[in-house]
Chains A and B, each alone.
Chain A
């Protein structure tokens, strides 16, 4: 293993930051969801890297659980997007001012 642990963790940090910026900057709800998936994947990469470093495989199980949560979140979230699109004809998050009046 010639690549040190830090490189993986820094790559994971970069991916997490890109995901965060995506959620903050994008107004398209589908793209915001994908940015959340990027953040979850960044966490997964860090888990795998630390799991390999500590030589304990528990991290792999955690990645499995995180992926399950991501799948459930994508399913429910996209259902919410479809329901909103039926009502508002838009997927722009800023047009969702129904709770604001």
Chain B
């Protein structure tokens, strides 16, 4: 089943066209790694998918439902209620974690359950403990984000995303803000989620991780999908010149 169907997605910030027509189908259970140079629109693409940025043009279908309404040709209008329901079903993990600094780890995980789902505190707390346990942080439930390491913060952020039972998870460079020795613990958690068969879109610069975990790799350049395919093909035998150049730059300093 197609979970997500994106057609002709465009996004510009003033005169700056970031996305210039993205067509993307994501089936349930697919794990897609999105690669690309900085400024190629990777983050913007993810942010458009859960409407943290409003697409300038194009359509997004999620869970079999075409979102928004075309009131005038080429211009879609989105209703806040519909977007809230979509955002509830799409979990997002940010590069900078974006935990609520005034709440404990469990408070962060419980927040969505309590305010959006209207869950009772005790029930939400139980759920939060399950999710924190899954990312290996049950003992840090009462710690504030300032007292956690970067890797721990990111794992709390993943637990927070999981608590809402999302149908799709978006990871926006989840390990880019981490010290190298902390990257592993976060990738381990993401990999465990991949093994559960969750649908995920992952923007990353960890080519090795993308190779082992993704079912499909997308290379973005100039706001369009420049090349896509199975990881073996895109990462080992790219057909496009720019993909090759990008990969070569990445490997320049690797062992």
**A and B bound?**
no
